[in-house]
Structure 1
Amino acid sequence: MNELNSLFRKRIGISESENITFEILENVLEKTAKNIPFENLCIIEKKTRDITKENLIDKILVRKEGGLCYELNSLFYLFLIENGFKAVLARGIVYNQATQEFPTFGRTHVTIILMPQEEQTYLIDTGFGGNLPLKPVPLSGETVMSPNGEFRIKQVDIPQGNYILEMKLKHKDTDWKIGYAFDSKTTITDVSEFNETQTIIVEHPDSPFNKTPLITRLTNEGNVTLTDTSVTQWINGVVIKEKIDTVKFKELLKHHFEIV
């Protein structure tokens, strides 16, 4: 077993001897969401590196940090390939819920398309913060229910892409809302193409990830989100938010995410 496969299994708590089949992918996705955080700390600290297989392994699996969508989904894509799946990466645009529109600075979301499993194609995402489906979502439109809520794909014809991920998050949404649009026609297999994505995220004035630290992961009870000014926990549908200072931020970073 190669380094990526072995280290990834160790990071999320899966045996090296376990055969990763489509049937157990939801278990793998849930373990990934609970053990590898979505975070932008390297951007805030100006310590970004080129997006390569080797750098992703070092950052997320050796140093046990997290990452943003182009890092987390690139790594999971490589893990899928190592375990015999046929998959590609695709670009997307996350919908801005506050303004009710798509941003205009480019397709900066990265997601995974899992190629036909029993004649079906699926979306997989391990890099969408607290909005993770936790199961493969079929592109044919059926609703998927997971511990994190309900998810479905709608085919569209818009400038942002030819599909939209819609979601109804558990304890949070009563109606369907748009997660992001993505383009399944132009796919990617070389993760280095996301250096361009990283540059936009790091430098663009409208980027949501280059201003303040953000780190979040799913938990058994819901999720926990940490910024430099607050910690927010969803515990079985109840939200608890607390204001914090810099000292507390560092303490909680270690306590909730094991990052020093």
Structure 2
Amino acid sequence: MSSSLAESVDQLDDWYLDRFDVDAYLARIRHPRVGPGVEALHSLHRAHVLAIPFENVDVVLGAHRGLAPETITDKLLLRHRGGYCYEHALLFAAAAERLGFRVRRIISRVQPHRSGPRTHMALLLGIDGEETRYLADVGFGAGMIAPMRLRDGDIVDQAGWPHRLTVRDGIWTLAKHTEDGWEPQHAFDESPARPVDYEVAHHYVSTHPASPFTGRLVVMRLSDGLSRRLIDDTLTVEHADGRIERTPVPLERLDATLRDLDVVLNASELAELRVHLGGQPELWSR
């Protein structure tokens, strides 16, 4: 797709920016208002990842209310909840655009070296007057804490785990360095996605039995040198130096563990989630 055509497609879609409260967003991530710049982009990206958890509670409970701007704002900004990639990326994109960054919303193929689907939402950001663009990926679980220059071979330490961007035949691949070498995370081209693309992908990810998010609880947090993952009833804490700790989470510790991960559920949500994880309804419905 030519650059001019791509830009015109970007401008066709209504991302509801006039209904976005950037001040409420900045308050949620505890960040001052800034203008567009490289330092500001890094600071905003980091603040978002540290403040808002990755979690799929609503998907597990079959209660996800969709991707409408008001729904995402209510959930992530007002109710101290997190979300998964679409919610994170749509929120960050709106904030970045309102603060003066150029934003392109894209859709990426997860685990491209296997049979992964094209369902992940990420962002390409630019700054007026600069040619360099950046991959912003605030919603890929416990993945990136900083944006990455869209430059072949660029390697960035992401909270202790090196990540690399490479390009071949117009397809960019984000890879993470593991003990087995560079493991692809997702791959994308630079074509702009549209709201309907995310609605379709969200429907699959939130309802299809083959989706990794419909059958199990997933909560992820990333901070410097530390990755925490709650998968159903097991909390895994991974350190950048290679140490891994796994702790069972009994149902009576579920609320406290979720709160430690900055996920705050109301009594009804918590009771339903406990039932999903194997509890008896009569024990948790009071």
Which structure has greater helix proportion?
A: 2
Aligned to 2:101: 85
Structure 1 Cα separation of the partners of residues 77 and 229 of structure 2? 21
Structure 2 Cα separation of the partners of residues 38 and 224 of structure 1? 11
Please state whether the residue corresponding to 2:107 is helix, strand or coil: strand
Structure 2 Cα separation of the partners of residues 216 and 78 of structure 1? 23
Distance 1:257 1:55, change over 3 A: same
Distance 1:3 1:88, change over 3 A: closer
**Correspondences of 1:118-137 after superposition (within 5 Å):** 118-137=130-149
Any conservation in 2 of the 1:134–1:148 contact (CA below 8 Å)? no
RMSD: 2.3
Any conservation in 1 of the 2:155–2:163 contact (CA below 8 Å)? yes
Structure 2 Cα separation of the partners of residues 70 and 145 of structure 1? 24
Could you tell me which of 143, 146, 151 is aligned with 2:163?
151
Residue 231 (str. 1) matches residue 242 (str. 2):
no
Distance 1:147 1:40, change over 3 A: same
What count of residue pairs does the alignment treat as equivalent?
246
**Pairwise CA distance, 1:20:** 4.9
Deviations 1:114-167 (A, max 9, x none): 13662112211001111215123324442233434322322224xxx7221122
**Aligned-pair identity (%):** 24
Distance 1:167 1:235, change over 3 A: closer
Residue 70 (str. 1) matches residue 86 (str. 2):
yes
Any conservation in 2 of the 1:124–1:137 contact (CA below 8 Å)? no
Unmatched runs of 5 consecutive residues or more in structure 2: 1-17, 266-286
Any conservation in 1 of the 2:236–2:244 contact (CA below 8 Å)? yes
Aligned to 1:54: 70
Structure 1 Cα separation of the partners of residues 148 and 19 of structure 2? 25
Structure 2 Cα separation of the partners of residues 259 and 134 of structure 1? 25
Aligned to 2:119: 108
Could you tell me which of 36, 58, 63 is aligned with 1:42?
58
**Pairwise CA distance, 1:74:** 1.1
Aligned to 1:11: 28
Q: Which has the larger radius of gyration?
A: 2
Residue 214 (str. 1) matches residue 231 (str. 2):
no
Distance 1:253 1:122, change over 3 A: same
Aligned to 1:183: 189
Distance 1:173 1:115, change over 3 A: farther
**Pairwise CA distance, 1:219:** 2.7
Letter of the aligned partner of 1:14 in structure 2?
H
Aligned to 2:48: 32
Distance 1:80 1:191, change over 3 A: farther
**Pairwise CA distance, 1:220:** 4.0
Please state whether the residue corresponding to 2:181 is helix, strand or coil: coil
Letter of the aligned partner of 2:27 in structure 1?
K
Which structure has greater strand proportion?
A: 1
Aligned to 1:142: 154
Structure 2 Cα separation of the partners of residues 138 and 6 of structure 1? 29
Unmatched runs of 5 consecutive residues or more in structure 1: none
Letter of the aligned partner of 1:70 in structure 2?
Y
Structure 1 Cα separation of the partners of residues 174 and 115 of structure 2? 13
Deviations 1:49-76 (A, max 9, x none): 1212221111111112111111111111
**Pairwise CA distance, 1:46:** 1.3
